[in-house]
């Protein structure tokens, strides 16, 4: 679905990026991965792919990799994705997520390549009175974290490079992605954290009342969206989610955990987040295929296997 020719995947040693790289290799594509391995893992990189250990903020390095690979599609997933770190060090968050995206867009401009950008859904929309749930792309973004703001800025630069240089981009606003290879990192990492604690026989910790909701979307479905976006109509911003709210207590129940331990709510946490992905269905023909009832047990099994349990 992503079309022919070599591709570059930034962040291809990470959770979503490596799963995408596997799918591209399976399609017979020549895959070049750009990753500094600061949060990604070498063992995630498919052996058929070429790893370039580089920082996406290095304009010359990224441009050289894209041009030498002859890539006409760049899947840009490398990012500073930790909301807590973004709040603690907003300059670092902006440096990686904004300057890194500019580096990728500059490389795409000079190489004549398309960019499929991993944006954020709930992180961009935020939460405010009158925000529709599920949230469509027409809703006004009002981020509540530096991470959401920096990713939204990346979307803006994608649009700018389209207007100024004709760079074709597709911006995918992702829900809370979960699945095999997920690290206990960021909000969506609660699935990996809960799975680990269940395996250890420990209680799961719930912050607040546990009724806060997210749109949990399985990684294989997200990869399908990236593949479709690689060949679909450019200059689009599309939500990628299930349209279904799942609470933290729902996660505990589906995973089969016992009574959780409750802690005070964390400041700034969204109470509700859910995406309307009907536009992606119309533009890409994409629909989520994996329910949380199916995806969570698969994730738990993958954590068990990874730990040798």
What lies within 8 Å, CB to CB, of 296 at 6+ separation is 178, 191, 251, 254, 255
Catalytic residue among 147, 161, 178, 216: 147
Range of the domain at 76: 7-178+217-243+276-289
Q: What is the pLDDT of residues 166-201, one digit of tens each?
A: 999 999 999 999 999 987 544 458 999 999 889 989
Residue 257: inside a domain: no
Question: For the chain, what is the domain count?
Answer: 1
What distance in Å separates the CA atoms of residue 211 and residue 126, rounded to the nearest whole number? Answer: 17
With pLDDT > 70 as the criterion, what percentage of the chain qualifies?
97
Task: Decide if 203 contacts 261 (C-beta within 8 A).
Answer: yes
What pTM did the predictor assign? 0.95
* Per-residue model confidence (pLDDT) at position 2: 44
Q: Which residues pair with 161 in a beta bridge?
A: none
137: domain CATH number is 3.40.50.720
Residue 43: inside a domain: yes
Q: What is the pLDDT of residues 110-138, one digit of tens each?
A: 999 999 999 999 899 999 999 999 999 99
pLDDT of 3 above 60:
no
* Per-residue model confidence (pLDDT) at position 302: 92
Residue 157: inside a domain: yes
User: Is 128 considered catalytic here?
Assistant: no
Residue 68: inside a domain: yes
Query: Other CB atoms closer than 10 Å to residue 72's CB: what's the count?
Result: 19
Residue 195: inside a domain: no
What distance in Å separates the CA atoms of residue 110 and residue 105, rounded to the nearest whole number? Answer: 9
Residue 207: inside a domain: no
């Amino acid at each position: 679905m992503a079309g022919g020719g070599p591709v570059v995947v930034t962040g291809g040693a990470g959770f979503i990026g490596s799963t995408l790289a596997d799918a591209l290799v399976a399609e017979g594509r020549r895959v070049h991965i750009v990753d500094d391995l600061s949060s990604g893992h070498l063992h995630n990189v498919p052996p058929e792919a070429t790893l370039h250990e580089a920082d996406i903020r290095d304009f010359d390095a990224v441009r050289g990799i894209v041009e030498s690979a002859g890539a006409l599609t760049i899947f840009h997933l490398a990012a500073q994705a930790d909301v807590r770190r973004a709040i603690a060090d907003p300059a670092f968050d902006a440096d990686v997520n904004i300057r890194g995206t500019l580096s990728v867009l500059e490389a795409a401009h000079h190489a004549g390549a398309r960019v499929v950008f991993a944006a954020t859904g709930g992180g961009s929309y935020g939460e405010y009175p009158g925000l529709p749930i599920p949230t469509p792309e027409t809703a006004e973004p009002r981020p509540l974290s530096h991470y959401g703001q920096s990713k939204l800025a990346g979307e803006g630069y994608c649009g700018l490079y389209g207007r100024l240089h004709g760079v074709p981009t597709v911006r995918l606003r992702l829900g809370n992605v979960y699945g095999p290879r997920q690290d206990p990192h960021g909000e969506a990492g609660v699935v990996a954290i809960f799975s680990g604690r269940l395996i250890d026989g420990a209680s799961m910790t719930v912050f607040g009342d546990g009724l806060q909701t997210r749109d949990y979307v399985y990684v294989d479905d997200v990869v399908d969206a990236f593949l479709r976006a690689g060949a679909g109509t450019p200059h689009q911003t599309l939500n990628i989610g299930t349209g279904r709210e799942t609470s933290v207590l729902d996660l505990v129940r589906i995973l089969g955990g016992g009574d959780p331990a409750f802690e005070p709510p964390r400041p700034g946490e969204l109470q509700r987040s859910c995406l309307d992905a009907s536009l992606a269905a119309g533009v890409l023909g994409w629909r989520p295929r994996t329910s949380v009832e199916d995806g969570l047990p698969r994730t738990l099994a993958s954590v068990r296997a990874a730990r040798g349990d």
